[in-house]
A and B are shown apart, each in its own frame.
Chain A
Amino acid sequence: MFRNSETARGLTLIAPPALYALLLLAVPLLAIFAFSFWSQDFLTIDYTPTLNNYREAFSEPLYAQLLLRSVLIAGAVTLATVVLAFPIAYFVSFHVAPSRKSLWIFLITIPFWTSYLIRVFLWKVILGYNGVLNSSLLGLGVIDEPLTFILYNANAVVITLAHAFAPFAILPIFVSLEKIDRSLLEASRDLGENTVMTFLRVTLPLAVPGVVAATLIVFIPTIGDYVTPRLVGGPNGLMIANMIQTQFLKLNNAPMGATLAVIAMGIVTVLSLIFIFLNRRWLKGRKT
Chain B
Amino acid sequence: MTWLRGYAVLYLVFLYAPIVLLPIFAFNDSTIIAFPLSGFTTQWFTEIPNTPALVKSVQTSLIIAVTTALLSTTLGICAARAGAKYSFPGKAPMLGFIMLPLVLPEIIVAVSLLVVLLALGLPLGGWTVILGHTLICTPFCIAILNSAFGNLDASLEEAAFDLGETRWSTFRLITLPLVMPGIISALLISFTISLDEFIIAFFLTGTEPTLPVYLWGQLRFPQKIPVVMALGTILVALSVILLTIAEIARRRGIARAGGKDTGGFL
Which residues of A approach B to under 8 Å, CB–CB? 6-7, 9-11, 13-18, 20-21, 24-29, 31-32, 35, 45, 84, 87-88, 90-92, 95, 101-102, 104-111, 113-119, 121-123, 125-126, 128, 130-132, 135-136, 163, 166-168, 171, 174-175, 178, 216-217, 220-221, 223-227, 231, 241, 244-245, 248-249, 254, 257-258, 261, 264-265, 268
- Let me know if A109 and B114 touch, CB within 8 A: no
Identify which of residues 20-38 in chain B touch chain A, using a CB-to-CB cut-off of 8 Å: 21-22, 25, 33-36
The CA-CA distance from A252 to B102 in the complex, in Å, is 28
- Let me know if B34 and A118 touch, CB within 8 A: no
Assuming the contacts A88-B11, A132-B35, asked whether A249 and B203 have C-beta atoms less than 8 A apart, the reply is: yes
The CA-CA distance from A130 to B196 in the complex, in Å, is 28
Known: A90-B4, A122-B22, A244-B111. 12 other contacts (CB 8 A): A7-B87, A14-B78, A17-B78, A17-B79, A18-B97, A25-B109, A107-B12, A109-B243, A168-B266, A171-B264, A221-B103, A224-B108
* Total residue contacts A-B, CB cutoff 8 A: 252
The CA-CA distance from A199 to B19 in the complex, in Å, is 35
The stretch among B40-48, B52-60, B130-138, B174-182 that forms the contact with chain A is B130-138
Verify if B261 is at the interface (C-beta below 8 Å from A).
yes
CB distance from B5 to the nearest CB of A (A): 7
Which residue of chain B lies nearest to A26 when distances are taken between CB atoms in the complex?
B97
- Let me know if A88 and B8 touch, CB within 8 A: yes
The CA-CA distance from A168 to B112 in the complex, in Å, is 25
- Let me know if A116 and B196 touch, CB within 8 A: yes
CB distance from B245 to the nearest CB of A (A): 12
- Let me know if A10 and B98 touch, CB within 8 A: no
Assuming the contacts A10-B88, A135-B35, asked whether A221 and B263 have C-beta atoms less than 8 A apart, the reply is: no
Interface SS of chain B: helix
Q: Mark B3-15, 1 if CB is under 8 A from A, else 0.
A: 0110110011011
The CA-CA distance from A264 to B7 in the complex, in Å, is 36
CB distance from A4 to the nearest CB of B (A): 10
Which residue of chain B lies nearest to A20 when distances are taken between CB atoms in the complex?
B75
A residues near B95, Cβ cutoff 8 Å: 14
Contact of A14 among B88, B135, B198, B232 (CB under 8 A): B88
Verify if B235 is at the interface (C-beta below 8 Å from A).
yes
The CA-CA distance from A279 to B251 in the complex, in Å, is 35
Identify which of residues 109-133 in chain B touch chain A, using a CB-to-CB cut-off of 8 Å: 109, 111-116, 118-119, 131-132
Assuming the contacts A13-B86, A114-B19, asked whether A105 and B263 have C-beta atoms less than 8 A apart, the reply is: yes
CB distance from B266 to the nearest CB of A (A): 5
B residues near A174, Cβ cutoff 8 Å: 263-264
Verify if B76 is at the interface (C-beta below 8 Å from A).
yes
B residues near A244, Cβ cutoff 8 Å: 107, 111
- Let me know if B17 and A248 touch, CB within 8 A: no
Contact of A118 among B22, B87, B266 (CB under 8 A): B22
The CA-CA distance from A111 to B232 in the complex, in Å, is 13
Which residue of chain B lies nearest to A219 when distances are taken between CB atoms in the complex?
B103
A residues near B243, Cβ cutoff 8 Å: 106, 109-110, 113
Contact of B114 among A6, A11, A248 (CB under 8 A): A248
CB distance from B28 to the nearest CB of A (A): 11
- Let me know if A24 and B35 touch, CB within 8 A: no
Contact of B11 among A84, A217, A221 (CB under 8 A): A84
CB distance from A162 to the nearest CB of B (A): 9
Mind listing 13 A-B residue pairs with CB under 8 Å?
A: A18-B98, A20-B134, A24-B113, A88-B11, A102-B264, A109-B266, A111-B15, A111-B18, A113-B196, A115-B235, A118-B232, A136-B35, A163-B18
The stretch among B62-70, B151-159, B211-219 that forms the contact with chain A is B211-219
- Let me know if B97 and A25 touch, CB within 8 A: yes
Assuming the contacts A7-B88, A117-B219, asked whether A102 and B261 have C-beta atoms less than 8 A apart, the reply is: yes
The CA-CA distance from A223 to B228 in the complex, in Å, is 28
Verify if B199 is at the interface (C-beta below 8 Å from A).
yes
B residues near A110, Cβ cutoff 8 Å: 239-240, 243
The CA-CA distance from A65 to B216 in the complex, in Å, is 26
- Let me know if A132 and B14 touch, CB within 8 A: no
Identify which of residues 218-264 in chain B touch chain A, using a CB-to-CB cut-off of 8 Å: 219, 225, 228-229, 232, 235-236, 239-240, 243, 247, 251, 261-264
- Let me know if B101 and A111 touch, CB within 8 A: no
Contact of B1 among A91, A114, A245 (CB under 8 A): A91
CB distance from A263 to the nearest CB of B (A): 11
A residues near B33, Cβ cutoff 8 Å: 125
CB distance from B119 to the nearest CB of A (A): 7
Assuming the contacts A25-B109, A118-B228, asked whether A31 and B119 have C-beta atoms less than 8 A apart, the reply is: yes
- Let me know if A21 and B111 touch, CB within 8 A: no
Which residue of chain B lies nearest to A92 when distances are taken between CB atoms in the complex?
B8
